[in-house]
Structure formats: C-alpha cells, structure tokens
Amino acid sequence: MIRVAVCGACGRMGRLVIGQISRQDDMKLVAAIDAPGTPSAGEDAGELAGVGKLGVKIVGADKLAEELKRSKPDVLVDFTRADAAVKNVKTASEAGVSVVVGTTGFTAEQQAEIERAIKKGKIRAVISPNMSIGVNVFFKSVEGMAKMLGSDYAVEIIEAHHVDKKDAPSGTAKKAAQIVAKALDRSEDNIKIKSIREGDIIGEHTVIFSTPEERVEVIHRAQSRETFAAGAIKAIRHVIQKGKPGIVQDMQDVLGLR
C-alpha cells in the first residue's frame, strides 16, 4: 500500500487527487495539508473532496514536519503555489519522503532550490507542470514537428486558462518553448508566448509553426482537471516503483516517452 500525503488538499487539484487516491486499491491517503492557518483545519479531507469521510484531517502547512513524522507517508504530492511548494519539498526531503510536484510558476532559482533539496535528501521525485497524458504526447509531437520542419519556420505559442490562474505564461507553454528551442537550437527568447486569461478555461495550448506560405498547428485542450489528477496517480506509482534517489524525473519518464 502506497501511503500518500497531499499538500494543497483544499484546492481544485488537491481535492481531485484525494478523490482519485480514494478509488485506488494500492494507495491510502494518510495526510492532507493546506495553507498555514487554513480555516478548514480539522475538517475531513475526504468530505471536502466530496468522496465521503476518509478519517484524515486537514492540517496547516506550519505543522508539515510534525505531520509527516506522525503519518509516515511514502510520497508527498504538491499542488499548491510556487513559494509554498519550495518549502514543502524541503520539508519532505528532510523527512526522507519522495515527492510528486504538479505546482507551476517556479523561478529558475526556486527550481534550482528544489533540485538541491531533492539531491541532498536523496529522495525520489517527479516534477511536471502538466501531468496529463495528452499534453505529454503533445510535447513529443511538438518536438518531432520542430525537428521535421526545421529553422525556416517561425514558432509562436498561445495558451489560454481560467481567470484565477496565478502564473503566466503557463508552465506547460514554457516547457513547450524549451522543447522547441532545444529541437531547433534556437534561443527561447525567439519563441513568443501569448497568454489568455478568460472565464473557466481549464487549459489550452497551441504551438504554431509558420512561414509566409503555410502554418502547422499542434493543439491540446484539457476538458477536465481529472486528467491532471489521473497523471498524478501514475506519477505516485512511478516514483515509488521506478524513481531514482536524488534525481528529478518528469512525466516523460512516467509515461515511458523519453
């Protein structure tokens, strides 16, 4: 049985991940953490997630170290915000708990800080700005398309999300830009990213390759956040079965797409 702690347990993603964990035969929710001083402290995480009582109470992140010691999870899943995730990963690493991080919006320094903590604690880790299977196949297609079309094509990325999304451009758009830049041996600065924040759009990404004569577009549209939670479930299993101590893996490793 894989023992799982979820950080961001009251959030949109955290609640879906808890719901999906409750339906797995090989997983058990053992801790549910939200922001320090959360008004939901003491409430049942399963009830908050709409899947009925799970007997796990929401705890504030100020008590994360104690909570990990008490509940002894194998994996901590983090869907919070960038500054919080950095702290949570450090605490998990000190406790020897592996991590699956879906949080986005890290600066280069925050990313480096997280990687240092993972290396120091020799914990196993999967970090991915987008856990959906479709998006990870989309990344592969974008890479192949860039290599096949070559450097005569201008590249532009358009991403659209709901108005509450905190970071822009999205982590997924930035990752697509990195992939294209690497495939074309071009600087990321030459790839324009346009961000749209409108209504309740779950997540749409379009990569456009163009010359004055033609355009090729690769599009991914997420229709439900459950797709990200399902990817997180795969990442939890992978990190325990195939994770490597001190090494950060991503969904390409989880899905065998590398």
Ligand X SMILES: NC(=O)c1ccc[n+]([C@@H]2O[C@H](COP(=O)([O-])OP(=O)(O)OC[C@H]3O[C@@H](n4cnc5c(N)ncnc54)[C@H](O)[C@@H]3O)[C@@H](O)[C@H]2O)c1
Residues labelled as active-site residues: 161, 165
The DSSP call for residue 135 is H
Q: Give me the residue label for tokens 């990195």.
A: 178
Q: 209 near 176, Cβ under 8 Å? A: no
C-alpha angle 174/176/179, rounded to 5°? 110
Q: Minimal distance in Å, beta carbon 62 to ligand X? A: 8
Stretch that binds ligand X, among 19-27, 67-75, 97-105, 213-221 (CB under 6 A): 97-105
Q: How many CB atoms lie within 10 A of CB 86?
A: 22
Q: For residue 88, state whether it binds ligand X (rule: CB under 6 A).
A: yes
- Altogether, the residues listed in the chain come to a count of 258
Q: For residue 8, state whether it binds ligand X (rule: CB under 6 A).
A: yes
Among 2, 4, 5, 10, binds ligand X (CB under 6 A): 10
Q: Minimal distance in Å, beta carbon 247 to ligand X? A: 19
Q: Which tokens in the block code for residue 207?
A: 């990569």
Among 46, 73, 121, 129, binds ligand X (CB under 6 A): 129
Within the chain, strands assigned E span 2-7, 27-34, 58-60, 75-78, 98-101, 125-127, 154-161, 192-197, 204-210, 215-221, 248-249
Q: Give me the residue label for tokens 């451009």.
A: 169
Mark residues 41-80: x for contact with ligand X by CB under 6 A, - for none.
--------------------x-----------------xx
Mark residues 167-206: x for contact with ligand X by CB under 6 A, - for none.
----------------------------------------
Q: For residue 103, state whether it binds ligand X (rule: CB under 6 A).
A: yes
d(CA 35, CA 54): 20
Q: Minimal distance in Å, beta carbon 129 to ligand X? A: 5
Alpha helices, H only, 2-107: 12-22, 45-49, 64-71, 82-94
Q: For residue 11, state whether it binds ligand X (rule: CB under 6 A).
A: yes
Q: Give me the residue label for tokens 């990344």.
A: 139
Kindly tell me which of 82 and 247 has the beta carbon lying closer to ligand X: 82
Stretch that binds ligand X, among 68-76, 99-107, 208-216, 237-245 (CB under 6 A): 99-107
d(CA 63, CA 117): 19
Stretch that binds ligand X, among 20-28, 31-39, 67-75, 90-98 (CB under 6 A): 31-39
Chain positions contacting ligand X, by CB under 6 A? 7-8, 10-14, 33-35, 61, 79-81, 84, 88, 102-105, 128-131, 228
